[in-house]
């Protein structure tokens, strides 16, 4: 199992450009999440999807859109990138269960720089 995979690993954009960050998981998890982590800070939730076909806003959704394409894939789109969106983006997945109530599995991250 690959777990949670993210593409690309690195990306540099100019202000105003758009791009889509891809995330896929092969663990058959219902829930998927997108976080951003600024230098020296904790993770902040952008959007999450409790199940296929549903998405909800997190703490910092402005400037982003998401698509839960199917159970495996959850993409994050920046329509018009801004320097304030320079960050590391993590995707995570989770499947509720008694033993692993709050266990999320994280991808390796995408390091995005907006000039």
Partner 1 sequence: LAKTTQPISMDSYEGQEVNITCSHNNIATNDYITWYQQFPSQGPRFIIQGYKTKVTNEVASLFIPADRKSSTLSLPRVSLSDTAVYYCLVGDSNTGRRALTFGSGTRLQVQP
What is the smallest separation between the CB atom of 106 and partner 1, expressed in angstroms? 3
In the complex, what is the shortest distance from the CB of residue 10 to partner 1, in angstroms, rounded to a whole number? 11
What is d(CA 53, CA 73) in angstroms, rounded to the nearest whole number?
Answer: 11
**Footprint of partner 1 on this chain (CB under 8 A)?**
4, 30-31, 33, 35, 41-45, 48, 50-51, 56, 58-59, 90, 92, 94, 96, 100-109
Q: Considering the complex, what minimum distance in angstroms separates the CB of residue 82 from partner 1?
A: 23
Neighbours of 112 (CB within 10 A): 20
Helices (H) and strands (E) in the chain, counts: 0, 11
CB closer to partner 1 out of 13 and 23: 23
């Amino acid at each position: 199992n690959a777990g949670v995979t993210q593409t690309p690993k690195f990306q540099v954009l100019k202000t105003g450009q758009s791009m889509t960050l891809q995330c896929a998981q092969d663990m058959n998890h219902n829930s998927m999440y997108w976080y951003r982590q600024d230098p020296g800070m904790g993770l902040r939730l952008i959007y999450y999807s409790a199940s296929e076909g549903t998405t909800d806003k997190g703490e910092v959704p402005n400037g982003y859109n998401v698509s839960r394409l199917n159970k495996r894939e959850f993409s994050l789109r920046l329509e018009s990138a801004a320097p304030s969106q320079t960050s590391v983006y993590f995707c995570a997945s989770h499947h509720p269960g008694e033993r692993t109530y709050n266990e999320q599995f994280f991808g390796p991250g995408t390091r995005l720089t907006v000039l």
